[in-house]
Amino acid sequence: MAPFSKLDVEETLAQLTTDEKVGLISGIDFWHTFPVPRLGIPSLRFSDGPNGVRGTRFFNGIPAACFPCGTALGATFDVDSLTEVGKVMGKEAKAKGAHVILGPTINMQRSPLGGRGFESFSEDPLLAGLAAAAVINGIQDEGIVATVKHYVGNDQEHDRMAIDSIATDRAMREIYLKPFQLAIRDSAPKALMTAYNKVNGTHVSESKFYLDDVLRKEWGFGGLVMSDWFGVYSTTESINAGLDIDMPGPSGFRGELVGRSINSRKIKPSTLDDRVRKVLELVNNCAESGVEENAFEGTNDTPETTAILRKMAAESIVLLKNEDSILPLSKARTTAVIGPNAKVATFCGGGSASLLPYSVVTPFDGIAAKLEHLPAYTEGCSAFKSTPVFGANTTAPSGKPGLGMNFYLEPETVKDREQIDSLELRNGNIMLMDYVNDKIDKSKPYYAETIAYFVPEISGEYEFGVSVFGTAKLYVDGKLVVDNATVQRAGESFFGFGSAEETGSLFLNAGQKYEIRTTFGSGLTSTLASTMMLLGGGLRIGAVLKYTREEGIAKAVAAAEAADQVVVCIGLNNDWESEGYDRPNMDLPGATNDLVEAILAVKPDAVVVVQSGTPVELPWVNKSKALLHAWYGGNETGNGIADVLFGDFNPSGKLPLTFPVKVQDNPAFLNFRSENGRVLYGEDVYIGYRYYEFAKREVLFPFGHGLSYANFKISDAKLAIKDAAEKPATANELGTLSITATVTNTSGPAGAEVVQVYISEAKPVINRPVKELKGFARVELAPGASKTVEIEISVKEAVAYWDEVEDAWIAQSDKYTVSIGSSSAAVETVEQFEINKTLHWRGL
């Protein structure tokens, strides 16, 4: 089948029947749009997501390249590398036969507790917007359509489809809309996805103000507007507001209901044409990719892909502390690698951002590959929220790693039931919402069983866990160990539709082979109240060796004492940070803090590596001399960490998020979560460093902070204003700030520094942040080398705030200070400039 051709949009629109038009404004399944073959309109394929391209299947999908999470990419402050990331994502989309990537995500992290905070780039709208634009440009350079999301205010998971985000116009404009505005200005994304939530009383998918007045008329957005999946709650309101396509399909709010609405004149035929026109324009944009309709789903697992994954994993890492120059480590010394994240590849967060990687590298494996002698290892403590899933530690009946899964139309109580399918899976986290089998009637339940074989390395009591959307029971050698069918408790699994995890324990002997069998009934068998979004259901099964806190820490201390150098790998994982629920606190799991304290007591120079997508509390931080933050680093997580630890990559990452001392310090602490269906953005424009600086609140690590193995000096900073009119009559005539500075690598290896520019107003007429990031540049320098960097910022963007009286941006007549430095807390004044006339404007 050849790639499809571009359409004459108006001619095609004129030939469409009303039924065909109605079909085009909703999907036909989870990932595909409605085709009209007689007019050459293909079925387009959409695919998640923000840190990689999954393809069309959550269940048993095609492996993919998983990039570091959004906050990790934001930590690079590197628009050139992010453009390359986008290009590789575009190539991945082509390999998967996808025309549209559902990303990047650019919602704001108003609280560290947001379940999807890891997906977005930053707490700062400028960094988020410019990072998104870079990724979008890379994706669309490959002819693939990027979808910037979730527009707007989708900043928490709790009650996310019903919650009303109540915020001032100023906060919406300066913080929450701003990254979308910048992305549209600098990259012209060809698609945009609406948020689940309301903003100030109206669901965004039904908001004429946000979709038409702001997005299309004020900003001139010319692309398609799609819903988030199941994020449409009306027919006439969403269509009249400007929502072009309802995903997924079949839609409950379009189809026949659109025809009724047209007949009753609640929707004008011309309005329907407007929605269809955008779908046809999307077809033309997708034609540039050369991707065929219903193309084969393959892979792009090349050395070039691996190289950029490894580079970005290392480049995103932030060196938070390095007292006594403990890092980089020696490759010749004896080493102990300790911690719950050491032998697990914590490569991505949970939910729609997750995917099946080509392969993954654990920190232990990455470190071991650098050393002359194999490192010692012990876990020290557990950090799981749900029991670690089966996968690499089990074998399927074929003998391959993973497990087998057999499907049936009848439950196991039916003798000689017919097996309708048999598959092998790589792990025991099984989401079946997109499982397809011609013999299954989705209006009726179906059944399955999984079979895996487990050989314990250590004798002891093992805890088995099962969470399910549906019903399930787990047996070990025929003995019932976990029953999650007879009695079920509501939980957070499977986007909140599934059960709480049920557990059971059994003593197992080292070296003995055990059969682990799980019986499963699909989502329709669930005893829990649900809207049945995930009709196929889901199953998550795993096991872990149980040991006491004291036993785990004692082994870790002994291993630390016996080694010349120690790396402690701790943090969160995709159980803790995921779509569908928020974090309850900023704590590290279980006995993690006790473990670190005990190791630092005997090995003060131990290196601590923390993985999380958003900030965590570190109560032992003052005792730690060497500390790295490694985020969720994608397929090459372990290699990226090891490259930095041993100096093969000089760390250059900068925090895109302020790390508060404790969660109570966060400005949204009192206003996070849904309270009777609404959340008050009481902190207004004061999120992240804007609040901590204004309130003079101590932080753990400031926004923009990040060390290097080299030492850098920023000097000779100068300010000039270009292209300013003598008597400006419009904001555009205010000209451009040009900030130049010399950056020198004064000592140490080759490395990179990020020069950050902040602007503050002398005597604002309203409360304003102490200063705001308005520009940045990453510069790479050889030892002893110097470079002059220039950062240009339009004057109107440098000084603007939203004037709620005039309902417009304002450049207030006043004096403004330009500061430059290596973090929000390490800046020096360059000089001042003055605006002599107050000016207003709207638009990009």
Which residues are annotated as catalytic? 228
Q: Which pair of tokens denotes residue 674? A: 């849904």
What is the identity of the amino acid at 341? N
User: In sequence order, which residues have a C-beta less than 8 Å from that of residue 33 and are 6 or more positions away?
Assistant: 24, 27, 43, 44, 46, 245, 279
For 691-804, list the strands marked E by DSSP.
699-701, 711-722, 736-747, 751-761, 772-781, 786-794, 801-803
Q: How many helices (H) and strands (E) are present in the chain, helices listed first?
A: 18, 38
Q: What is the 3-state secondary structure (H, E, C) of 263-324?
A: HCCCCCHHHHHHHHHHHHHHHHHHHCCCCCCCCCCCCCCCHHHHHHHHHHHHHCCEEEEEHH
DSSP letter, residue 173: I
- Confirm if 656 and 118 have CB atoms less than 8 A apart: no
- Return the DSSP state at 684: T
C-alpha–C-alpha distance, residues 209 and 212, integer Å: 6
In angstroms, the Cα distances linking 216 to 225, 418, 611 are 10, 55, 39
User: Which amino acid is present at 174?
Assistant: E
Asked if residue 791 lies in contact with residue 739, where contact means CB atoms within 8 angstroms, the answer is yes
Enumerate residues 6+ apart whose C-beta is below 8 A from 600. 606, 620, 623, 624
Coil, strand or helix: which one is 222?
Answer: coil
Q: Which amino acid type is present at position 589?
A: P
Contacts of 589 (CB under 8 A, 6+ apart): 340, 382, 383, 384, 385, 572, 576
Q: How far apart are the first and last CA of the chain?
A: 41
Structure-token pair, residue 238: 């969403």
Residue 534, SS3? Answer: coil
Contact 1, 292 (CB under 8 A): yes
Rounded to whole angstroms, the Cα distance separating 678 from 125 reads 23
Looking up tokens 């630390």 gives: 560
Nearest Cα neighbor of 473 from 488, 483, 462, 487 is: 483
Q: Of 832, 799, 780, whose CA–CA distance to 174 is shortest?
A: 799
The CA-CA-CA angle for residues 314, 318, 322, to 5°, reads 110
Contact status, residue 328 vs residue 91, Cβ threshold 8 Å: no
Q: What count of Cα atoms within 13 Å lies in the side-chain half-sphere of residue 178? A: 25
Q: Closest Cα to residue 453, out of 521, 512, 389?
A: 512
Residue 781's CB is within 10 A of a number of other CB atoms, namely 19
